[in-house]
């Protein structure tokens, strides 16, 4: 498994494990069914809130990476456009030099 891109899988596994562990702990606890259901409901709300927060953080991070990628792409476009212009200028200069040489050579 690659080190990149595994965060989502890890988080999903962690979340599923937490849910199953919490459920198992509550079901095995010595308390009434009503208390168990109440605790399960409270815990599910907590886990939902944590999942929403984690999702929001992941979305924010993705937006930041997308913006950073857009900035890098724009910088590269500028560099490529500059290189193209420099190439055109160099080609025009060389063409002028070659035409000048042709005009200077005597015709035999």
| Domain residue ranges of the chain, discontinuous segments joined by + | 11-104
* Nearest CA-CA partner of 51 in 5, 18, 81: 18
pLDDT at residue 52 is higher than 60:
yes
Position 1 confidence tier, pLDDT thresholds 50, 70, 90: very low
Which of the pair, 40 or 72, is modelled with greater confidence? 72
Structure tokens at 31: 């308390």
How does pLDDT run across 54-97, given as a tens digit for each residue?
888 988 999 999 999 999 999 999 999 999 999 999 999 999 99
Whole-model pTM: value is 0.47
Alpha helices in 1-108 (DSSP H): 7-28, 33-104
């Amino acid at each position: 498994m690659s080190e990149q891109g595994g965060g989502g899988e890890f988080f999903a596994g962690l979340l599923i494990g937490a849910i199953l562990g919490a459920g198992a702990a509550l079901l095995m606890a010595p308390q009434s069914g009503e208390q168990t259901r109440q605790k399960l409901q409270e815990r599910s709300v907590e886990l939902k809130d944590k999942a929403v927060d984690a999702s929001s953080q992941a979305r924010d991070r993705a937006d930041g990476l997308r913006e950073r990628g857009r900035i890098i792409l724009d910088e590269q476009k500028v560099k490529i456009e500059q290189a193209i212009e420099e190439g055109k200028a160099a080609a025009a200069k060389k063409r002028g030099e070659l035409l000048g040489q042709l005009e200077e050579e005597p015709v035999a």
